[in-house]
Amino acid sequence: MNKQVPLLRLREGRMYHLFLSHVWASAQDQVAVIKRRLQSMLPSVRVFLDVDDLTDISALEAYVKQSNVVLTFLSRHYFDSRNCLRELREAAFTKPLLRVHESDEARGGQSLEKLRAACPLDIREAVFNGGVGPIVPWHRVYDFQLMSLRMMIHEMLLQDLNYKKIIHRRNASGRSKSGEVNDDDISVYVEDSITERKMVHNGVPMLLFSSANPGASEAAALVSKSTGGAVRVSSDFPIDMGEAVFKILEEMRSTATDDEGFKEAIDECTVASARDALHSTPSAARDPIFNEAEKTPLSTKSVAISFNYHEAVLPPPKKLSKKTSGSKGSKGATMVHWHFLLYLNDNTFVEKPKAKRLEAEIRAAIACGIPVVMIHENDPFKGGCAFSRFFDSTPPALITDGLYSELAIPFHPKPHLLVSMKLLEKALGARPKQGALGARTMPAGRKVVQNTSFKVFPSDKT
């Protein structure tokens, strides 16, 4: 890895590395952010933005011709703009077209389906099935925004004259099998990105999930796989939490105006054995521990009672608890930090029996001092939906008790899913490893993007 700041080069007759095409009404503020961010990350970059660089509106096409790459910011009313269409028609068949999509409808976004339908037929294919790289989703959360910027810079470098020459020289020398410039020829390292940091956990994070929460099992498995098993997942609740679920369900049933769904929910709670084990477990049992040498849980009874569980019927909690087990255990043991996963997609709290059981499990987790960690699915192929939907589907008691006072972690499709996973690890108590890749210091005041692959091509990697 050479980790040098990329030096961009303009072809003769070009003035800009990037032209920002956008509609003022829904995108002016965000393209200004993109320009500022790129300038701070790529000191040599020249970006055309109308408010800064336009002197003659009749010469829009000339500005496009003077640019290496054209970025089209797809937002509401983009295709209604005469000037945007002028820029797009000039660029669609002659320039590398970098597509960036604003999907947040509350902030001027629109679905790709609606945008595609609004696009004129003569350029529709070039815009939505052409272009360079995938369509880049735009985000306002800093860590996700860095991933979007990384994707943009990656495509800009692939089109830059300097790096095209470097890649072609390596192709000619036989160092790369491909005769063309492709995605594997360049990778971008972003100093500030959370994805460059290795995370370490102080103890063992145990993520509990419910079979009454549609999609939670798959999400938990993905978390475990993505963290290399550092985060352990289970649908087997600690004994006292299982007992609490049963009691809360009975309490909910006694105060409900109808009995719909309760019998099924209670029948699904297999708590009988847990209740027996609870009463036979020595009261001296405390925090759950794992044997460090064996990396396996100790006996069920030794991990059973570890929370602020009260024998009385549990009332709805007034606020969320953030308490977890201590990180210091006995010699040779590692403490377990319990969390309860609430996976939010378009099926959450929809089916009544499951919704009632999930509500009871959430309340039981909170009452037992287990923090609730929420994942908000944003991938439409996995039931992603607007967060506002959950204010209608979530049981009112949970909303009143402050369930959504904590922010949910958005789970976006790849590559932004890498960011989601790192943010989830942080929520589970992980911290960046000192001295890890990406945690190195740079000269004060510099936020740079560094290239890592101009000397490390696929055939060189170990």
- Token digits of residue 283: 């009261």
| pLDDT of 17 over the 50 cut | yes
Backbone angles phi, psi at 161, to 5 degrees: -60, -40
In a domain, 415, yes or no: yes
pLDDT for position 207: 93
At 320 the pLDDT is: 30
Query: What is the DSSP annotation of 93-136?
Result: TTS-EEEEE---GGGT---HHHHHHHS-HHHHHHHHS-SSSSPE
Give domain status of residue 8, yes or no: no
In DSSP terms, which residues pair with 18 in a beta bridge? 47, 69
255 pLDDT higher than 70: no
Whole-number Å distance between alpha carbons of 66 and 54? 13
In a domain, 378, yes or no: yes
- Is 262 found in the same domain as 243? yes
- Band the pLDDT of 158: cuts 50, 70, 90: confident
Pick the most confident of 97-106, 244-253, 282-291.
97-106
Phi-psi region of 443 (alpha: psi -120 to 50; beta: other; left: phi over 0): beta
- How far CA 291 is from CA of 110, 201, 297, 334, 441, in Å, comes to 52, 16, 7, 7, 36
Confidence of residue 455 (pLDDT cuts 50, 70, 90): very low
Lowest mean pLDDT among 10-14, 122-126, 231-235, 417-421: 10-14
Model confidence, pTM: 0.76
Partners of 337 in the β-ladder:
205
pLDDT of residue 5: 73
Mean of pLDDT over the chain: 75
pLDDT score for 304: 28
Give me the mean pLDDT over the 115-119 stretch: 96
Concatenating the DSSP letter of every residue in 269-288 gives: ---HHHHHHHHHS-TT--S-
* Residue 348 clears pLDDT 90, i.e. is over it: yes
- Give the confidence band of 269 by pLDDT, cuts at 50, 70, 90: low
Q: Where are the alpha helices (DSSP H) in 119-211?
A: 121-128, 142-158, 161-172
Q: Quick check: is 421 in a domain?
A: yes
Q: Are 264 and 371 members of one domain? A: yes
pLDDT bracket for residue 260 (50, 70, 90): low
pLDDT for 275? 40
Average pLDDT over residues 149-169: 79
404, 370 contact by CB (below 8 A): no
Same-domain check for residues 128 and 203: no
State the pLDDT confidence band at 334, using cuts at 50, 70 and 90: low
Domain-located, residue 30? yes
Encode pLDDT of 383-402 as tens digits.
Answer: 999 999 999 999 999 999 89
Residue whose entry in the numeric block shows the structure tokens 């040779």: 332
What pairs with residue 99 in β-bridges?
72
178 & 213 share domain? no
Q: What is the mean predicted confidence (pLDDT) over 338-342?
A: 94
Residue 388: both structure tokens together: 């506002």
Mean pLDDT lowest for which of 178-192, 370-384, 423-437?
Answer: 178-192
User: pLDDT at position 326, please?
Assistant: 41
pLDDT of the residue at 1: 47
Tell whether 2 is covered by a domain. no
Mean pLDDT of the region 398-419: 93
pLDDT at 306 over 50: no
What's the CA angle centered on 200, arms 337 and 444, to 5 degrees? 135
Q: What angle do CA 246, 206, 239 make, to 5 degrees?
A: 30
Express each pLDDT in 360-387 by its tens digit.
Answer: 889 888 888 889 999 999 999 999 999 9
Does the pLDDT value for residue 295 go beyond 80?
A: no
Q: Is residue 6 part of a domain?
A: no
CA atoms within 13 A on the CB side of 323: 12
* Rounded-to-10 torsion of CA 25, 26, 27, 29: 80
Q: What domain range includes position 389?
A: 199-432
Q: Tokens standing for 122?
A: 């003569």
Cα–Cα distance for residue pair 357/89, rounded to 1 Å: 55
Q: What are the tokens at 144?
A: 């996700």
Q: Which of 164-168, 206-210, 292-296, 432-436: highest mean pLDDT?
A: 206-210
Residues 181 and 279 in one domain: no
Q: Report the distance separating Cα 215 and Cα 343, nearest Å.
A: 7
Q: Could you tell me if 309 and 368 are in contact, meaning their C-beta atoms sit under 8 angstroms apart?
A: yes
- The CATH number given to whatever domain includes residue 186 is 3.40.50.10140
19 in Cβ contact with 70 (< 8 Å):
yes
Do 339 and 401 share a domain, yes or no?
Answer: yes
**Same domain membership, residue 232 and residue 131:** no
Give the DSSP letter of residue 327. S
**Which range among 273-277, 287-291, 409-413, 451-455 has the greatest average pLDDT?**
409-413
Alpha-carbon distances of 168 from 162, 165, 449, rounded to whole Å: 10, 5, 22
Same domain, 443 and 342: no
Q: Is the dihedral of CA 338, 344, 222, 133 positive or negative?
A: negative
Same domain, 135 and 215: no
The closest of 418, 438, 414, 419 to 1, measured between CA atoms, is 438
Q: What is residue 323's predicted lDDT score, i.e. its pLDDT?
A: 40
The model's confidence at residue 3, banded by pLDDT at 50, 70 and 90, is: low
From residue 4, how far is each of 37, 44, 187 by CA, in Å? 18, 13, 12
pLDDT > 90 fraction of the chain, expressed in percent and rounded: 42
Please check whether residues 98 and 117 belong to one and the same domain: yes
pLDDT reported for residue 437: 43
> What is the C-alpha to C-alpha distance for residues 236 and 21, in angstroms, rounded to an integer?
53
Mean pLDDT of 1-22: 81
Half-sphere exposure (Cβ direction) of 173: Cα atoms closer than 13 Å: 9
Query: Which of 333 and 242 is assigned the larger pLDDT?
Result: 242
If pLDDT is split at 50, 70 and 90, which confidence band does 316 have?
very low
446 in the same domain as 421? no
115 and 216 in one domain? no
Q: Looking at residues 88-109, what average pLDDT do you find?
A: 91
10 occurs within a structural domain: no
Q: State how many domains the chain has.
A: 2
